[in-house]
Amino acid sequence: MTSRLQCMDCTTTYPIDTVTYTCAACGGLLDVQHDLDAAKKTVSRALFDDRLGSLSAPYNSGVWRYKELVHPTVPDEQVVSKPEGNTNLYHVPELARWSGVDTLYLKHEGENPTGSFKDRGMTGGVTHARLLGMTRVACASTGNTSASLAAYATQAGLQGIIFFENKNIALGKLSQAIAYGATCVQINADFDRNLALVREVAEETGIYVLNSVNPFRLEGQKTIMFETIQQLRWQVPDWIVVPGGNLGNSSAFGKGLNEFYQLGLIDKMPRIAIIQAAGANPLYQSFQRDFDDLQPIKAQTIASAIKIGNPVNYKKAVRTLRWTNGVVAEVTDQQIMDAKAQIDGRGIGCEPASACSLAGVKKLVAEGVIGRGDSVVGVLTGHLLKDPDATISYHTDSLNNIRAQYPNRLHQAEGDAAQIIDILNRARSAEYAD
Ligand code: F0G
């Protein structure tokens, strides 16, 4: 079973061990194209169900459970895995009610080893880097990719290199990258410029780029869809709702769903809704113009993970939207933080960017795009602890231009039992008053 790299535009193919991220002929984005006719003979719902709960590497991973569709030829012992995936799919009736649908699930990718969905991509990318004989791997990052790259690189014995913006990086993420031992460079440039810089530096120095322009990253990330559908006992929801930044996830989801469909593992495609922050919405703007082109913008949002104005995977995301009859919506920072407070308040929790999913569901229901009776899966992309500043600033109502709708006030007391009891009594009556 051979896999090849294939240009999504001009269909030129390259051997899988070619070190490249874009097509040499036309500059288009590359896909890892598997031999689906061969896969048809080996993969089945039963095969993937049999591997559930496996204790053996690499099949104990929620990525490598689908190895035939991720990286079929890599020897099992060469896989760099923590293992990742196997994340919870929460059924949340209260949040369904809040957003206006009957059935809502949240797929929590913040439950991965380093706290974000990036681990699913990184296990694919770092495994492939090692097969290629690379010694140094690098990325530009708004934070989560860096944490993941740093952890997987050190596990694989590779040097990790991170290009950060010198502001707006959530502390949880920065601390992870430093702690895992990557070479971290804070640069006076935003994510979009840093991505251009990392590609330029990598070209000159032979470092391997592990941003989502690397198609092996997306092979790992598409398993979010595989696992979700398997967890739903192979039932396809009406909608998948996902935040969009550099658009790697949405690109990967379309590819994975298309493969499952071609293999007969599902009998319909869900519709995908990509949700962007209003201050970082180039895909949304392009959607409004029937995808005539991408006009890069200078991005600004409290959801720092998706503060991206020139998404590298734009064309693949548009392909996903066409394959799935998808839509794009934008939500304000206020809507993001209120949705986050709702998710957090159910004991689930996520970082700001992830809350775009729930905020997006609410908005699309209000607009009549998502029907009340539709079944919806929202993807939560990162863990609550990634960005504690945002959470605390919300609950203390100290964010610029955002008024917390669901604050959980922090009480202050002297070391005095009577005063504390008074606070508790008042808190209880406030709760009953709601
Ligand atoms: N949610 C979180 C928590 C993220 O960290 C990211 C991207 C996204 C959503 C957007 O996903 O790029 O696939 O559309 N974070 C990258 C990083 C850019 O560097 O960690 P996308």
Report DSSP letters for 219-251, one per residue.
Answer: HHHTHHHHHHHHHTTTPPPSEEEEE-SSSHHHH
> What pLDDT, on a 0 to 100 scale, did the predictor assign at position 429?
84
Nearest CA to ligand 1 atom 4: 305
> What pLDDT, on a 0 to 100 scale, did the predictor assign at position 7?
98
> What pLDDT, on a 0 to 100 scale, did the predictor assign at position 101?
98
Cα–Cα distance between 276 and 303 in angstroms, integer? 10
> What pLDDT, on a 0 to 100 scale, did the predictor assign at position 364?
98
Alpha-carbon radius of gyration of the chain: 21
Of 107, 144, 330, the residue with max ligand 1 atoms within 8 A of its CB, to mutate for a pocket test, comes to 144
Residue 158 amino acid letter: L
The answer to whether 118 touches 148, Cβ cutoff 8 Å, is yes
Rounded to 5°, the CA angle 315-318-323 comes to 125
Does ligand 1 have an atom closer than 6 angstroms to the CB of 304? no
The CB density around residue 20, as the number of other CB atoms within 10 Å, is 11
Cα–Cα distance between 179 and 183 in angstroms, integer? 10
Residue count (the chain): 434
Cα–Cα distance between 285 and 302 in angstroms, integer? 19
Extents of the domains making up the chain: 1-34, 36-116+215-434
Say which DSSP state 337 is in: H
10-residue stretch averages of pLDDT, the chain, 434 residues long: 92 97 97 97 98 97 98 98 98 98 98 98 98 98 98 98 94 97 98 97 97 98 99 98 98 98 98 98 98 97 98 98 98 98 98 98 98 98 98 97 96 97 92 61
What CATH architecture does domain 36-116+215-434 belong to?
Answer: 3-Layer(aba) Sandwich (3.40)
For residue 240, list its beta bridge partners.
272, 377
> Ligand 1 centroid vs 111 CA: distance in angstroms?
15
- Contacts of residue 282, defined as CB under 8 A and 6 or more positions apart, other chains included, come to 276, 294, 295, 296, 297, 309, 310, 311, 314
Residue 204, exposed/middle/buried by CB under 10 A (0-12, 13-18, 19+)? exposed
Counting from 1 in the atom list of ligand 1, the atom nearest the Cα of 148 is: 20
Q: Tokens at residue 311, please? A: 């998404």
Does ligand 1 have an atom closer than 6 angstroms to the CB of 245? yes
> Largest Cα–Cα distance in the chain?
76
